[in-house]
Each structure stands twice: as structure tokens, then as C-alpha cells.
């Protein structure tokens, strides 16, 4: 019973975060489901449970996002450096990399929250670099979202465009990971059953998060997402320190 409560809580909160902020889903869902099952079940079922409920979200975001140069260049950067991240993962202790990533994210997020408003031009070069950093982080420890969100929040775009860009970019990364799971035969019948059971709850909370976003101002959205980013960065750092 306790395991089902953990899994249900994970699906509900992760779904809301996906619908409202477009990111943070993995950092919420994976640790809780890992406690109830295991890490493999957590990452694979997250991919499965998100597939259908995210279709309306992605369809809407596809109309509002900046395909060129933002999404295209970020995708190219991520594709180029994701393999480098995997190589580093094999060479450097994961806890060391996560500690550095956590510190950098906390510093960047704190600056965006407390410092003067950052205005990035958001051209092809910056988008390529942001995607590369995101891909590097994703390759090392599976965390694509925070570096990409920090870049997108630093640009001169409204909340709707920022969220749409995040939805499309992170969905693309998720599909690539999902293809890897399928290629390596990681999807089991038990995982499919769990995903089907959780999908209605996840989808309902995603819908609730998406509709909650509709009434949020640009400033409030930015602060809420930066707050979530700070918590994610702190969680990464604490996890790395506990592993020492």
C-alpha cells in the first residue's frame, strides 16, 4: 500500500509539473518510484506514462515555440555533446560531476532569482551552446532540463513562448531516451501495466497544470520555475554529497 501511495504521489506531482512548468518531471517522479520499485522501472515508466497525455501539450507548444533558430540549434548542440557526456560518465565518478552540476545550477538560478534581469539575445550561437550544455549534463547524469531552462528563462521571451520551447526541446530528448530503452529491450510487461495504471492520474494532473498556467503572468511563471530549478539543483547537490 505504501508503495502505491508513493507511486501515485509521484505521478500526480510530476504530471502537474509537466503541464505547468514543462520540466521537473523526472526529478520528482524517478526518486519516488525508485523507492517503491527500482531506478530502471522509474525511468522507463516515466517515458511510457508521458507518451499519450503529453500529445495535446506538445501539439499546442508546436504552434507557439521558436523552431528556428532556438529549437533546431539546441537540438543540434544536445545531439553533439550527449555522447561526450556518456564518455565522461565512464571516466569520472558520477558523484563528482553531479556535485559540480548542482553548484553551477544553484549559482545560476540564484543569480536569475536575486540579481538583475538577464537578457540573452537568444541567437543561433547561444542556442547551440545551451543545447550542448544540456546534452552534456544529460549524457552524464540524465538531467537535460535545468541547463536548458536556465537559458530559456534568461531570454527576452514571454512565459508562453518559454514554456513552449521547453516542452518541444525536452519532449525530443525524452523520445531519444525512450528509443534507447526500446532498443536495449528495457521495457517489460510489468512496466507497461504500471504505466497504463498511472496514466489517467498523470494525465489528469498534467491537464490541471496546463490549465493553471493559463492564468499566470510572465513574472510569476519565471519566479515559480526558477524556484523549482533551485530546489532541483539543491537536490542534485545533496544527493552527490551523500554519495561521498
Q: Could you report the per-residue pLDDT of 6-29, keeping only the tens digit for each? A: 899 999 999 999 999 988 888 888
Find cell 507511486 and name the residue. Answer: 7
Alpha-helix runs per DSSP H in the chain: 2-20, 25-36, 39-51, 55-64, 72-91, 94-114, 124-141, 145-153, 159-183, 189-213, 218-242
Range of the domain at 185: 2-242
The confidence score (pLDDT) of residue 176 equals 83
The string of pLDDT tens digits covering residues 155-214 is 878 899 999 999 999 999 888 888 888 888 889 999 999 999 999 999 999 999 999 998
Overall pTM > 0.75 = yes
DSSP state of 59: H
Mean pLDDT of the chain: 87
Q: What is the pLDDT of residue 144?
A: 82
pLDDT at 88 over 90: no
On the CB side of 46, CA atoms within 13 Å amount to 28
Q: How many domains does the chain have?
A: 1
Residue range 229-236: average pLDDT? 84
Amino acid at each position: 500500500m505504501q508503495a502505491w501511495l508513493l507511486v501515485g504521489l509521484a505521478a500526480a506531482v510530476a504530471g502537474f509539473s509537466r503541464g505547468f512548468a514543462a520540466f521537473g518531471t523526472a526529478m520528482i517522479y524517478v526518486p519516488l518510484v525508485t523507492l517503491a520499485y527500482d531506478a530502471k522501472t522509474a525511468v522507463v515508466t516515466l517515458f511510457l506514462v508521458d507518451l499519450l497525455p503529453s500529445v495535446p501539450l506538445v501539439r499546442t507548444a508546436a504552434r507557439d515555440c521558436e523552431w528556428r533558430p532556438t529549437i533546431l540549434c539546441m537540438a543540434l548542440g544536445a545531439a553533439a555533446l550527449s555522447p561526450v557526456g556518456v564518455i565522461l560518465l565512464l571516466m569520472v565518478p558520477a558523484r563528482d560531476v553531479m556535485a559540480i552540476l548542482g553548484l553551477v545550477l544553484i549559482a545560476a538560478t540564484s543569480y536569475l532569482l536575486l540579481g538583475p534581469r538577464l537578457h540573452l539575445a537568444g541567437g543561433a550561437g547561444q542556442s547551440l551552446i545551451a543545447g550542448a550544455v544540456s546534452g552534456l549534463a544529460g549524457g552524464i547524469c540524465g538531467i537535460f532540463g535545468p541547463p536548458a531552462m536556465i537559458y530559456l528563462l534568461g531570454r527576452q521571451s514571454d512565459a508562453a513562448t518559454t514554456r513552449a520551447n521547453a516542452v518541444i526541446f525536452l519532449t525530443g530528448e525524452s523520445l531519444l531516451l525512450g528509443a534507447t530503452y526500446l532498443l536495449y529491450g528495457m521495457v517489460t510487461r510489468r512496466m507497461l501495466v504500471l504505466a497504463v495504471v498511472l496514466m489517467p492520474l498523470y494525465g489528469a494532473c498534467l491537464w490541471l497544470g496546463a490549465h493553471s498556467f493559463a492564468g499566470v503572468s510572465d513574472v510569476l511563471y519565471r519566479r515559480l520555475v526558477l524556484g523549482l530549478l533551485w530546489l532541483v539543483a539543491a537536490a542534485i547537490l545533496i544527493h552527490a554529497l551523500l554519495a561521498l
